[in-house]
Amino acid sequence: MAKKVTLHISPAGNGNYLVVVNGEGFYGAAPNATVGVRIRGEDEWFDDSLFPLRLGFPGHVGHDGSFSMSDTVPGNKLNEDWGEDEIYALVNVQGFGEFRSNTVKGHF
């Protein structure tokens, strides 16, 4: 299985959103290899650094080669520009490097 990182964003009520990043295919990772996630806004000229997921609490790769990290954030943290927002995750998996997720578009 190829290494894959996926971003999901869904309404959580009261103007908040659940941001979830899942990864799979990281077999052979050192036991409990750390995972760091940064949420970014995609723009034509340069991408905005929005926030780290679970500040100060890295995730870890499980024995099955997968991980999942999530957090609930106010919509204004995802509102990265005028009009439709384009959000993606940059994920650093210890021993594997950095991976970019899919882009989620919406009005946050």
More confident residue, 49 or 28: 49
Which residue range(s) make up the domain with 19? 4-106
Q: Is the pTM of this model over 0.85?
A: yes
- Structural domain tally of the chain? 1
Q: In the block, which residue shows the tokens 């970014």?
A: 40
Average pLDDT of the segment spanning 17-44: 91
Average pLDDT of the segment spanning 3-26: 97
Q: Can you say whether the dihedral through the CA atoms of 20, 21, 22, 27 is positive or negative?
A: negative
Q: What is the pLDDT of residue 22?
A: 97
Strand ranges (E), 28-108: 34-41, 48-52, 59-60, 67-74, 85-93, 97-100, 104-106
pLDDT in tens, 37-89: 999 999 888 899 999 998 778 899 999 999 999 999 999 999 988 889 999 99
Spatial separation of the C-alpha atoms in residues 83 and 66, rounded to whole Å: 34
Q: What is the pLDDT of residue 83?
A: 86
Spatial separation of the C-alpha atoms in residues 57 and 47, rounded to whole Å: 24
pLDDT at 1 > cutoff 80: no
- CATH number, residue 32: 2.60.40.10
